[in-house]
Structure 1
Amino acid sequence: MWSTDYTAETSLSPADVWAALRALHEGELTYDGADEFVLHGPFAVGTHVSVTPDGQETFESTIIDVVENTTYADETVFGDLTLTFRHTLVPTGTGTSVTHRLEIDGASADEIGPELGPQISGDFAESMQALFDAAARLVDGEAATEPSDA
């Protein structure tokens, strides 16, 4: 297995971050560079999700963990590999700590993970900040979607 974590903190509450994270995964929120999500059922364990990374082909994932204001995870199977993406929210004295974890498991994970993993997780810091910014806009009552540059 290969894995990596990225953790960041925000002054926003877990409920505020959760609202943005859920809206993103339900396809109701977007921002520059964000993956596009289309749910095929409720926001619940077992639901399939079509995921289209910015500028890439769509693939299918399955939600494997949902605990409101605490954790969201989905997994994607590619051949003999399983990629698990997990967001874990932990309240702090001043807001929320959020960890985005990627796990690559399977027969070839030890060979492919060190190359593929950093390619996938290379934008975790920027993505997390964009999620926090979108959550702050929701709290402020603004549109969560960034205006386009068009």
Structure 2
Amino acid sequence: MWEYEHAVDTAATAPAVWAVWSDVMTWPAWNAGVEKVDIDGPFAPGTRFRMTPPGEEAIEMRLADVVPHELFTDVMDAGDFVVTTVHRLQPNPAGGTRVVYRTEITGPAAAEVGPQLGPAITADFPEVLAALVRHAEASERKD
């Protein structure tokens, strides 16, 4: 198994961050690693979506868990390995919200694939989370 976690704190509330996350079609507006997203239904467990990184082929994923204002989990199943990313919101005791992204690569090929694929997937997490919280904080100020 390969794993990585990154977290940031924001003054934005969990509902403000959730509003950004659950509006999948706007992901390219704040996530530079997403050129396009197509989703086959509601932001709910079992829904499949395709996320296209800039200049690359679309990656097919499935929403495994969705708990509004708390977390969602997406899964990319490549057969001999599975990439699971949990996007979690936690109350920050100092106020605001802690946003956590955790990725795990499991399966028979995880030991071989994980050390190369994992860092490629997660390298932009600091920038993505920073952009996410900026977007959530800005949208909250507008309300």
Give yes or no for the alignment of 1:31 onto 2:26: no
Deviation at 1:31, TM superposition (A): 2.6
Matched, 1:130 2:131: yes
SS for the counterpart of 1:85 is: strand
Q: Could you list the per-position Cα deviations for residues 22-80 of structure 1 after superposition, in whole angstroms to 9, with x for gaps in the alignment?
A: 11xx2134235142322101111000101111222102101001000100111011241
The Cα of 1:18 is off from its aligned counterpart by 0.9
- Cα distance in 2 between the residues matched to 1:111 and 1:34: 24
- Greater share of helix: 2
- Runs of 4+, deviation exceeding 6 Å: none
TM-score by length of structure 2 reads 0.91
Q: Please give the root-mean-square deviation of Cα atoms over the aligned residues, in Å.
A: 1.5
| Aligned pairs (5 A) from 1:75-94 | 75-93=75-93, 94=95
CA distance in 1, matches of 2:73, 2:55: 23
Q: Relative to 1, partners in 2 of residues 1:32 and 1:110: Cα closer, same or farther, differing over 3 Å?
A: closer
| Unmatched segments (≥5 aa) in structure 1 | 143-150
Task: State the TM-score, normalized to the length of structure 1.
Answer: 0.87
Per the TM alignment, residue 134 of structure 1 is displaced from its structure 2 partner at its CA by 1.2
Aligned length: 140
- 2:141 match: 140
Gaps of 5+ in 2: none
Percentage identity across aligned positions? 34
Residues of 1 paired with 2:45 and 2:51: CA distance? 16
